[in-house]
């Protein structure tokens, strides 16, 4: 069977399963999640066997150690996936929630009821734990999902997919509600991306190149973020020890993730007292600074930041630093070079905190806290399926609610329109 026919069959099965899973009882969905959580641990040998095959070919192909680390399923990562499933089972079910119910002057009771989106396609890179996380969130929110992970994790993903489908069937839910695509070539993904009559949403997770390729090939709605060029603006009135802690945390706690700090903007009145101690701490943490001319007057040993640096998502222990005349210039810089992801102001000024929160329209805006909090778990969503930096449907970290929509429900007693 050719790619096109197989992907069409996958999508048709997903759509049929979506109609069933949309109406599934919360108890059945939760039971499947808990059975799966147990199965991951009791069948761990199956997973590590499959993972060993992926790791062997990854080493053969000479993949970098960081990528091999992300690919590895060991007792610890399996325990973490199992715990994640139990967390999702414990979250409230968003489906069926009624809001804004009120009476119109003619007696109609009008409200909105939350319903699943339908069929979601998730296209992601090496981490096999995404297979479990994404399946759990889609199942809990009543959606069917088609999962297409990276070719380097194919055996691990198929083994996980098998356990997921067993758990679904054990609870009387359709196995096709979670399908892992066995194809590893890009031609199959392309065919999947054409099926707009069957798939309601595509979420690509991975590098900018992967995401641009998906966007370029599909007419299905896509929720995405290309990159996170996150900024912190250190104001003139600021608690400097707090600011140093926050900047260090934002840059170094996990430099490889999208909510890490990439560009630091410093008020010129704070620069001469703030930058030297910051530079010492950053150097001790292994961070290379690149600065504008004013920064280099204070820190002459650092490299010059070029125009390219201001656009850069380093995902590494590198930080660009710019001295600005005040909050106005800081916000202009963010507007010009930012990626609508996450920005923070560190300030003791009530006026500037209020202005920054109001006028910076990135998906997450913080006062006196680390950019690393831009995350579904940290913000209280209970889970995270991804982060959106496009404004339609969802903006910022996305949890269960963002995998649903709301229909209007109307209770009448004979009303006609006049």
Question: Which residues are near a second copy by CB under 8 A?
Answer: 19, 22-23, 96, 102, 104, 108, 110, 113, 115, 117-118, 200-201, 215, 219, 221, 239, 242, 245-246, 248-250, 253, 335, 353, 357-359, 361-370, 372-374, 378-380, 390-397, 405-418
Instruction: Classify residue 377 by burial, with Cβ atoms within 10 Å: 0-12, 13-18, 19+.
Output: middle
Q: Do the Cβ atoms of 88 and 34 come closer than 8 Å?
A: no
Cβ neighbours of 142 (radius 10 Å):
27
- Compare residues 56 and 80 and give the one whose CB is closer to a second copy: 80
Structure tokens of 349? 């000024």
Mind giving me the DSSP string for 213-258?
A: HHHHH--S-B-------EEEEE-SS--HHHHHHHHHHHHHSSTTST
Closest distance of CB 42 from a second copy, Å: 32
**Nearest distance in Å: CB 249, a second copy:** 4
CB of 369 to a second copy, least distance (A): 3
Give, for 386, the enclosing helix (H) or strand (E). strand 386-388
Q: Which residue number, 64 or 380, has a Cβ lying nearer to a second copy?
A: 380
**CA quadruple 369, 375, 377, 380: dihedral sign:** positive
What are the DSSP calls for 54-103, one per residue?
A: HHHHHHHTT--HHHHHHH---HHHHHHHHHHHHHHHHSPP-TT-EEEEEE
Nearest approach in angstroms of CB 106 to a second copy is 8
Question: Which CA distances in Å does 53 have to 48, 66, 154, 155, 158?
Answer: 9, 18, 9, 7, 12
What H or E segment, with its residue span, contains residue 265? strand 261-267
Closest CB to a second copy among 263 and 371? 371
Provide the minimum distance between the beta carbon of 56 and a second copy in the complex, in angstroms, as a whole number: 35
How far are the Cα atoms of 152, 191, 277, 337 from residue 323, in angstroms, in the given order? 44, 49, 15, 15
d(CA 397, CA 376): 5
Among residues 113 and 158, whose Cβ is nearest to a second copy? 113
Q: Kindly state the smallest distance separating residue 98's Cβ from a second copy, in Å.
A: 9
Q: Which is nearer to a second copy, 59 or 354 (CB)?
A: 354
* Least distance between a second copy and beta carbon 167 (Å): 25
Nearer to a second copy, 226 or 314 (CB): 226
Minimum CB separation of residue 96 from a second copy in Å reads 7
**At closest approach, how far in Å is the CB of 360 from a second copy?**
8
Nearest to 131 by CA among 70, 63, 212: 70
C-alpha torsion 348→350→354→360, nearest 10: -30
CA distance 130 to 122: 9
């Amino acid at each position: 069977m050719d790619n096109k026919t197989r992907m069409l069959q996958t999508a048709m099965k997903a759509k049929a399963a979506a109609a069933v899973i949309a109406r599934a009882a919360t108890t059945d969905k939760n039971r499947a999640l808990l059975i799966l959580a147990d199965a991951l641990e009791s069948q761990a040998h199956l997973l590590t066997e499959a993972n060993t095959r992926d790791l062997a070919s990854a080493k053969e192909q000479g993949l970098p150690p960081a990528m091999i680390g992300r690919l590895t399923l060991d007792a610890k990562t399996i325990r973490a996936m199992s715990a994640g499933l139990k967390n999702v089972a414990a979250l409230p079910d968003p489906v069926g929630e009624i809001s804004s119910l009120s009476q119109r002057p003619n007696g109609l009771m009008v409200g909105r009821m939350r319903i699943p989106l339908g069929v979601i396609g998730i296209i992601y890179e090496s981490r096999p734990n995404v297979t479990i996380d994404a399946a759990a969130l889609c199942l809990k929110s009543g959606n069917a999902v088609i999962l297409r992970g990276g070719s380097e994790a194919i055996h691990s993903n198929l083994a996980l997919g098998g356990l997921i489908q067993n758990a679904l069937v054990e609870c009387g839910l359709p196995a096709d509600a979670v399908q892992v695509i066995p194809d590893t070539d890009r031609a199959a993904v392309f065919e999947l991306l054409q099926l707009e009559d069957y798939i309601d949403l595509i979420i690509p997770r991975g590098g900018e190149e992967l995401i641009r390729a998906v966007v370029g090939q599909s007419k299905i709605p896509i929720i995405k973020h290309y990159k996170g060029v996150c900024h912190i603006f250190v104001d003139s009135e600021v608690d400097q020890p707090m600011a140093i802690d926050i900047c260090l945390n934002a840059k170094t706690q996990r430099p490889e993730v999208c909510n890490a700090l990439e560009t630091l903007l410093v008020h010129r009145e704070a620069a001469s007292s703030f930058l030297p101690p910051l530079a010492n701490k950053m150097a001790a943490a292994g961070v290379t600074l690149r600065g504008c001319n004013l920064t280099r007057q204070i820190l002459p040993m650092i490299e010059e930041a070029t125009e390219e640096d201001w656009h850069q998502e380093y995902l590494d222990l590198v930080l660009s630093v710019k001295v600005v005349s005040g909050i106005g210039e800081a916000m202009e810089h963010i507007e010009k070079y930012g990626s609508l992801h996450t920005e923070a102001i560190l300030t003791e000024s009530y006026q500037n905190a209020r202005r920054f929160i109001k006028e910076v329209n990135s998906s997450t805006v913080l006062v006196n806290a680390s950019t690393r909090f831009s995350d579904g778990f940290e913000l209280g969503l209970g889970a995270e399926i991804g982060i959106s930096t496009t404004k339609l449907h969802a903006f910022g970290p996305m949890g269960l609610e963002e995998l649903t929509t709301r229909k209007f429900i109307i209770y009448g007693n004979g009303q006609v329109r006049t």
